[in-house]
């Protein structure tokens, strides 16, 4: 770390948590630490982990499924996150009751270029004997993914908290599927020999509280922008 970083609380976060959960937690934390110097780095998992081992971060916030094999790295689960299939409210998929993975694979998809979403989608489709979608786009920008989904028939796998504004604006809608593989744990990860100080612990506590609150939320009612065609029934979500 550079000399200017001394006395600065520096932590890393994966992109999907950098759009709502972490910013909300920081604003709450700032009420008790108005002058504390803070650096937040938004990177993909492997870069965050490399930086943590190197000493660039005091801690990182990410998934739990890629850190089990590292000595000297500690983690504590903060909250349960969940991925949803996302599409525009007028997407044909919402006319299916309910859609199968074979039907979902007929549409174009867009996924983060780094992470486990592509592997997760591939595993879900393979379990049903279905190949990956013929049209599959990958990128490293959550905002780009949301724009493509809102303006086309592309589908995506995203957590609910990344599309809060788009849900309220009726630009994107979540398709609720009762699939255990879409659940994932979010944890604070740090070096065993560098325990968190009081300011870091308080910030992590706020991230935990905000994340848990988001996890308890319900999917907003679907914005029905067009009537069902013919005798195709509108999609009705299950209880999840």
What pLDDT was estimated at residue 230?
41
From CA 16, how far away is CA 58, in angstroms rounded?
20
- Kindly give the pairing relationship between strand 173-175 and strand 38-42: unpaired
The residue whose two tokens read 């089990």 is 68
Q: Report the CATH number of the 82-182 domain.
A: 3.40.190.10
Report which listed range, 30-39, 44-53, 60-69, 122-131, is most confident. Answer: 30-39
Which of 37-46, 106-115, 201-210 has the weakest average pLDDT? Answer: 106-115
From CA 154, how far away is CA 142, in angstroms rounded?
14
47 contacts 160 by C-beta, under 8 angstroms: no
Which of 29-33, 106-110, 214-218, 224-228 has the weakest average pLDDT? Answer: 224-228
What pLDDT was estimated at residue 27?
96
User: What are the tens digits of pLDDT across the range 160-181?
Assistant: 888 888 999 999 999 878 788 8
What pLDDT was estimated at residue 173?
94
Handedness of CA 210, 213, 218, 221 (dihedral sign): negative
What pLDDT was estimated at residue 238?
35
Strands (E), 88-204: 109-112, 136-139, 156-159, 173-175, 183-191
What pLDDT was estimated at residue 64?
82
From CA 104, how far away is CA 98, in angstroms rounded?
10
The answer, yes or no, to whether residue 239 has pLDDT greater than 90, is no
Indicate the average pLDDT of the chain: 84
The residue whose two tokens read 């074979």 is 102
39 contacts 203 by C-beta, under 8 angstroms: no
Domain 3-80+184-215 = CATH 3.40.190.10 = yes
From CA 22, how far away is CA 177, in angstroms rounded?
26
Q: Are both 3-80+184-215 and 82-182 of the same fold?
A: yes
The answer, yes or no, to whether residue 18 has pLDDT greater than 90, is no
User: What are the tens digits of pLDDT across the range 60-71?
Assistant: 999 886 555 577
If pLDDT is split at 50, 70 and 90, which confidence band does 45 have? confident
- Non-local (6+) Cβ contacts of 197 within 8 A are 9, 58
From CA 195, how far away is CA 151, in angstroms rounded?
45
**Helix/strand/coil percentages in the chain, nearest 5:** 35, 25, 40
- Per-domain residue ranges for the chain? 3-80+184-215, 82-182
Burial pattern 161-191, b for ≥16 Cβ within 10 A else e, equals bbbbebbeebbbbbbbbebeebeeebbbbbb
Q: Between the CA of residue 128 and those of 119, 149, 154, 174, what are the distances in Å?
A: 14, 24, 21, 22
């Amino acid at each position: 770390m550079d000399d200017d970083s001394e006395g600065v609380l520096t932590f890393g976060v994966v992109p999907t948590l950098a759009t709502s959960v972490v910013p909300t937690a920081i604003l709450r934390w700032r009420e008790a630490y108005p002058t504390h110097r803070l650096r937040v780095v938004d990177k993909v998992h492997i870069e965050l982990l490399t930086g943590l081992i190197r000493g660039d971060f005091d801690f990182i916030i990410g998934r739990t499924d890629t850190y089990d094999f590292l000595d000297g790295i500690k983690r504590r689960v903060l909250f349960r996150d969940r991925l949803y299939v996302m599409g525009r409210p007028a997407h044909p998929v919402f006319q299916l009751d309910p859609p199968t993975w074979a039907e979902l694979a007929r549409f174009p998809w867009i996924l983060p270029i780094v992470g486990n979403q592509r592997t997760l989608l591939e595993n879900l489709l393979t379990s049903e004997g279905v190949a990956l979608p013929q049209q599959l786009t990958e990128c490293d920008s959550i905002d780009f993914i949301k724009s493509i989904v809102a303006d086309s028939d592309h589908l995506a796998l995203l957590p609910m908290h990344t599309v809060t504004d788009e849900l309220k604006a009726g630009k994107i809608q979540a398709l609720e599927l009762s699939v255990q593989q879409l659940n994932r744990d979010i944890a604070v990860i740090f070096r065993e020999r560098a325990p968190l100080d009081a300011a870091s612990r308080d910030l992590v506590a706020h991230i935990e509280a905000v994340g848990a609150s988001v996890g308890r939320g319900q999917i907003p009612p679907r914005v029905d922008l067009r009537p069902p065609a013919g005798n195709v029934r509108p999609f009705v979500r299950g209880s999840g």
